[in-house]
Chain A
Amino acid sequence: MSVAEKRPLAEASHVMAALQRIWQGARLNWATTTGAVIVLVAIGAAIFAPLIAPYDPIEIAIENKLLPPSAEFWLGTDHGGRDILSRVIWGARASLTVSLLAVVIGVTGGVLIGLFAAYHSGSWVEQIVMRAIDAIASIPLLIWAIAIIGIVGVDSVDIGPFTFTNVHKLLILIGLLYMPTLARITHAVAQVEMTSDYVKARRVQGAGNLAIMFGDVLPNCLSPLIVQATLLVAIGIVVEASVSFVGLGVQPPTPSWGSMLADARNYVFSGEWWLPVFPGAAISLTVIGFNLLGDGLRDVLDPRRSTGRLLT
């Protein structure tokens, strides 16, 4: 009898079954669970910042400047008298907005490019696309980011009715720079999947090429893409922090973990340890969280795992 008949989960709807499988997997794997918890906390902080931050993150109050952590200010205050805890919470917004939205842009573009190249497998079109991708990917992400923002400038740009702040520019840029990695993954997996029997079967049945690419090939590319996307979020956080650190990212007075680190530069040796430690810890922990989650997802989504199963 098939394994499925022994498991009552098979009767549930696809989504419920998938969620329950993830839950079961999470319970077995503490590392992934830790990662997921960290990620949820970070996202929660970003979303609910106005509700949970004890103080205004922007308002300057010189009388409180450079106070160490206390009952009143849990993480201390910075050189402007602003509560570090509130700034760290609000800083999550900048970091996560940039990294999450950049990944969304990257995945959308990368998948389309990768599928396009795989569809034209064997032709010069594929070669040109993939080599262009290689060229872009050959320059490190951070250098691209600094160079372009450095050239374009940090002021907001108005195009038509839309205003692009520096944060918007940054996330679009990072998103574009993610496309090569994601396109490569999609292309590699799609190429292999296109040679499989089930694709041939669909062709024989008369399915159109678009239906095959998006309905059959793409879902089978999802596992490595999801894992890579999670890891790219982690990278995005570091990139945003780095760019903000050099002043090309989130502009003051908006709090951002990177700019908080930049501000803290002057106080590293004078004893106000809480200025760099807490934003730095926020960056590290969030990056670790996304990495753990990505590793865990990779294990759950690996079709070769004997008990792990695929998402729909």
Chain B
Amino acid sequence: MTALLLDVRDLRVSFPMANGMTEAVRGVSFSVAPGEAIGIVGESGSGKSVSALAVMRLVAQPGRITGGEILFEGRDLAALDEKAMRTVRGRHISMVFQDPLSSLNPAFTIGQQLVDTVRAHRPAATREAARDRAVEVLELVGITEAGRRLTSYPHEFSGGMRQRVMIALAIACEPKLLIADEPTTALDVTIQAQVVALLWQLREKLGLSVLFISHNLDLVAEICDRVYVMHTGNVVEHGDVEDIFLRPQHSYTRMLQNCIPRIEGVEPWSAAARSSTGEVAP
């Protein structure tokens, strides 16, 4: 049994509000083994994004981690100071966010941002070596003519391409774990499928572990091995993806399942039938 790559135990994150501290994450535990793709599913306010940010120690001030352990390869990230954490971020654990437009710095070319990232974690690398690596990762994420595109600015790319660039930035330093927080939510469904396929490919090629966060159960089920379902700061159910998807135990998971309109359920029906029931088919 290989050791877990990421083992989060009883994580608690709180935010000070006008009327006291509010716990956004209330004792959440999840784990990622090497090579696994784990999904965290929940709606807004479930605490899924905050949990992911907590792993990266990027919870927005004045929020704080108020309890639990975040064991990455045995080391508790929650106990690290900021300097040590910076060696982990980008190098061992990387993150991709929802909105690629605001996640990439619009004032710099993507080449500059890639090179900066590479050299931040490998200060000994020469400019040429960093540049070569930048081209390498751009090609890895499927951007053609990568060499030429190094001098392009983020706004010159479409949404889907920008997300690919973000993924390239994230894998540039060969992290072991990639956290993707709603990476496709802002994208069209056709582009979404491409990005998901890309993540799947990268898993295979690079042996990357992925922590995929989304509100879309169908999407998570497509690429993840195990799924955690979160609701108001707690994990209400977790297990193998097939179990969660086909045999949900918790009422919330069942509700999530039922609410998704799926193509398979559409039956030929006359207008009369539709107007009498007015129901959304399960």
Are A and B in direct contact (Cβ within 8 Å)? yes
A interface, CB within 8 angstroms of B: 3, 6, 306-307
Q: In this complex, what residue of A is CB-closest to B18?
A: A307
CB distance from B17 to the nearest CB of A (A): 8
CA of A187 to CA of B17, assembled, Å: 35
- DSSP majority for the B interface? loop
Nearest residue, chain B, Cβ from A6 = B19
> Could you give 5 example pairs across A and B, Cβ below 8 Å?
A3-B18, A6-B19, A306-B17, A306-B18, A307-B18
Give Cα A3–Cα B20 distance, bound, in whole angstroms.
13
> How far apart are B68's CB and chain A's nearest CB, in angstroms?
26
Contacts of A306 in B (CB 8 A): 17-18
B residues within 8 A CB of A3? 18
CB distance from A23 to the nearest CB of B (A): 16
Q: For residue A179, give the distance in angstroms from its CB to the closest CB of chain B.
A: 36
* Alpha-carbon distance between A3 and B19 when the two chains are bound, in angstroms: 10
CB within 8 Å of A: which of B13-42? 17-19
- In the assembled complex, how far is the CB of residue A304 from the closest CB belonging to chain B, in whole angstroms? 14
For the complex of A and B, the 5 pairs showing the least CB-CB separation, nearest first, are A307-B18, A306-B18, A6-B19, A306-B17, A3-B18
Q: What's the nearest-Cβ distance from chain B to residue A1, in Å?
A: 12
C-alpha gap A306/B15 in the complex (Å): 13
Q: For A6, what are the chain B residues with a Cβ–Cβ distance below 8 Å?
A: 19
Number of interface residues of B (CB under 8 A): 3
Give the complex CA separation of A271 and B18 in angstroms: 54
When distances are taken between beta carbons in the complex, the residues of chain A under 8 Å from B19 are 6
B81 to chain A, nearest CB (A): 29
Q: Which residues between 253 and 282 of chain B lie within 8 Å of chain A, taking CB atoms?
A: none
Contacts of B17 in A (CB 8 A): 306
Residue of B nearest to A306 (CB): B18
User: Which of chain B's residues have a CB closer than 8 A to the CB of A307?
Assistant: 18
Q: How far is the CA of A6 from the CA of B19 in the complex (A)?
A: 10
Instruction: Give the distance in Å from the alpha carbon of A32 to the alpha carbon of B7 in the complex.
Output: 49
Query: In the assembly, what is the distance between CA of A307 and CA of B18, in Å?
Result: 7
Bitwise interface map of B from 1 to 20 toward A, beta carbon under 8 Å scored 1, else 0: 00000000000000001110
Give A3 to B17 CA distance when docked, in angstroms: 11
Give, as a whole number of angstroms, the nearest-CB distance from A275 to chain B. Answer: 50
A271 → chain B closest CB, angstroms: 55
A64 smallest CB distance to B (angstroms): 57
Determine how close the nearest CB of chain A comes to the CB of B138; give it in whole angstroms.
36
B19 and chain A: residue at smallest CB distance:
A6
State the CA gap A306–B18 with chains docked (Å): 8
Complex: A111 Cα to B18 Cα, angstroms: 35
CB within 8 Å of A: which B178-196 residues: none
Residue of A nearest to B17 (CB): A306
Residues of A within 8 A of B18 (CB): 3, 306-307
Q: How far is the CA of A306 from the CA of B60 in the complex (A)?
A: 15
Mark contacts of B184-222 with chain A using CB atoms, 8 A cut-off: 1 yes-contact digit, 0 otherwise: 000000000000000000000000000000000000000
What is the CB-to-nearest-CB distance from A266 to chain B, in angstroms, rounded to a whole number? Answer: 57
CA distance A307 to B20 in the complex (A): 13
In chain B between 87 and 132, which residues have their CB closer than 8 angstroms to a CB of chain A?
Answer: none
Q: How far is the CA of A3 from the CA of B18 in the complex (A)?
A: 10
CA distance A167 to B18 in the complex (A): 48
Nearest Cβ on chain A to B20's Cβ, whole angstroms: 11
Cα–Cα distance between A306 and B19 once the two chains are bound (Å)? 12
Min CB distance B143 to A, Å, is 34
Chain B's nearest CB lies how many Å from the CB of A297? Answer: 20
CA distance A231 to B219 in the complex (A): 53
A10 nearest CB across to chain B (Å):
14
CB B106 to nearest CB in A, in angstroms, measures 20
- Cα–Cα distance between A6 and B22 once the two chains are bound (Å): 15
CA A71 – CA B225 in complex, angstroms?
88
CA distance A103 to B35 in the complex (A): 67
A307: shortest Cβ distance to chain B, in Å? Answer: 5
Q: Write the nearest CB–CB distance from A286 to chain B, whole angstroms.
A: 33
B139 to chain A, nearest CB (A): 41
* Cβ distance B14 to chain A, nearest Cβ, rounded Å: 15
Q: A307's closest neighbor in chain B, by CB?
A: B18
A307 to B19, CA, bound (A): 10
